[in-house]
Amino acid sequence: MKGAMLHGPRDIRLEDRPDPVIVEPTDAIIRLSATCVCGSDLWPYRGIENVTGPAPMGHEYVGIVEEVGSAVTSIRPGQFVIGSFFASDNTCEICRAGYQTSCVHRQPIGAIGTQAEYARIPLADGTLVATPEVPSADLIPSFLAASDVLGTGWFGAVAAEVKSGSTVAVVGDGAVGLLGVLAAAHFGAERIVISSRHPARQQLAREFGATDVIEARGDEFIAQVRDMTRGLGADCAIEAVGTRESMLQAIGSVRPGGHVGYVGVTHAELPGDRLFFSHTHLHGGPAPVRRFLPELIDLISNGTIDPGKVFDLTVPLDHVADGYRAMDERRAIKTLLTLN
Ligand SMILES: [Zn+2]
């Protein structure tokens, strides 16, 4: 099969890789219907995370089940399935509490690499959720978004405890931040303020439910949010970048006792004194997307939400390098990779 491999900074290639086979009786093999490039793929692509030798890439996926292992009971060949970026058994105590990305048996899908024609998905019964029927082509981008960026933005809003009537600050105008806006709107937020200087992203934020766009970051953003909230700060913030600056922007935007849901992969050390005196509730981490998949599949199937709009570039898997480059240069919000 063909699959993407990262050889070093900004050196991604589509290569021949071995066809995946069933290794454990709990595995499934899927044929990808579509896959995509994640903002977090840019960390190794840019060399900010070390790459040791050629590494398979991609952890977002939707596809058709080709084959299942002998111990798989609920997933069947022919189903259209969605899974998250960690395989999980969905039965251990941590999974049952809703934190499938910390499953005691979790396995990272990124190590398997789903920017490829086929993929082996471990713990298929726990990891994969089948749609009621094989969807029409127009719904595939939205289901693919559910595999990571929608589920992650959703968790950002859940972790930030967005409620009906909340004022929410969103830090980050990438796919996750934009879908955090969508989630906050779904949960009934009254005012959703996003930090963005990029016209196309501002436009999509407004389509997803943002009420205010602030073209500033850091202290200037915080000051404007305070002006909107009688000097108190927002009720909640969704942090979707992962830097020290973005975390401090989110923490500074909420009122004492407010909630920050942080879902950007954190590459930052934070000042303990500022955290202590902020009275902020912090909750985040790798989103337990699996928790939300059944609900998200329903909302996409019945047309309530259209998260597939975050894909503003579509290229064939053969052109995976163009897809990375466009995201690296911020010409694309998110690249969808099609398969033949
Ligand atoms: Zn588990």
Per-residue pLDDT of the chain (340 residues; tens, 9 = 90+): 999 999 999 999 999 999 999 999 999 999 999 999 998 899 899 998 888 779 999 999 999 999 999 999 999 999 999 999 999 999 999 999 999 999 999 999 999 999 999 999 999 999 999 999 999 999 999 999 999 999 999 999 999 999 999 999 999 999 999 999 999 999 999 999 999 999 999 999 999 999 999 999 999 999 999 999 999 999 999 999 999 999 999 999 999 999 999 998 877 788 999 899 999 999 999 999 999 999 999 999 999 999 999 999 999 999 999 999 999 999 999 999 999 7
Q: Give the number of other CB atoms < 10 A from CB of residue 257.
A: 12
User: Global pTM?
Assistant: 0.96
Q: How far is the CA of 234 from the centre of ligand 1 (A)?
A: 34
Tell me how far the alpha carbon of residue 94 lies from the centroid of ligand 1, in angstroms.
6
Centre of ligand 1 from the C-alpha of residue 162, in Å: 26
Q: How far, in Å, is the centroid of ligand 1 from the Cα of 168?
A: 31
Q: What is the mean pLDDT of the chain?
A: 96
Cβ atoms of residues 208 and 185 within 8 Å: yes
For ligand 1, the distance from its centroid to the CA atom of residue 96, given in whole angstroms, is 7
Please name the residue ranges forming H helices in the chain. Answer: 42-45, 93-96, 124-127, 140-146, 149-159, 175-186, 199-208, 218-228, 244-253, 272-278, 289-301, 320-328
Rounded Cα–Cα distance for residues 15 and 167 (Å): 47
What residues have their beta carbon closer than 5 A to ion ligand 1?
88-89, 92, 95, 103
Q: 195 by DSSP, 3-state: which?
A: strand
CA–CA dist 49, 282 (Å, integer):
25
- Is residue 60 within 8 A of residue 148, CB to CB? The reply is yes
Please tell me the distance between residue 102's alpha carbon and the centre of ligand 1 in angstroms: 7
pLDDT of residue 86: 98
Residue 281: strand pairing partners:
259
Cα 113 to ligand 1 centre (Å): 21
**Ligand 1 centroid to residue 93 C-alpha, Å:** 7
Ligand 1 centroid to residue 101 C-alpha, Å? 8
For residue 275, the CA-to-ligand 1 centroid distance in Å is 31
Distance (angstroms) between ligand 1 centre and the Cα of 117 equals 27
Residue 65 tokens read as 């089940």
Distance 291 CA to ligand 1 centre (A): 11
Q: What's the 25 CA to ligand 1 centre distance in angstroms?
A: 17
Take residue 63 and report the two structure tokens written for it: 């596809």
* Measured distance between the N- and C-terminal CA atoms of the chain, rounded to whole angstroms: 12
DSSP assignment of 233-253: -EEEEEE-S-SHHHHHHHHHH
* Structural contact between residues 280 and 301, judged by C-beta atoms closer than 8 angstroms: no
Please answer whether residues 161 and 109 qualify as being in contact, where contact means their C-beta atoms are separated by less than 8 angstroms: no
| CA of 20 relative to ligand 1 center, distance in Å | 24
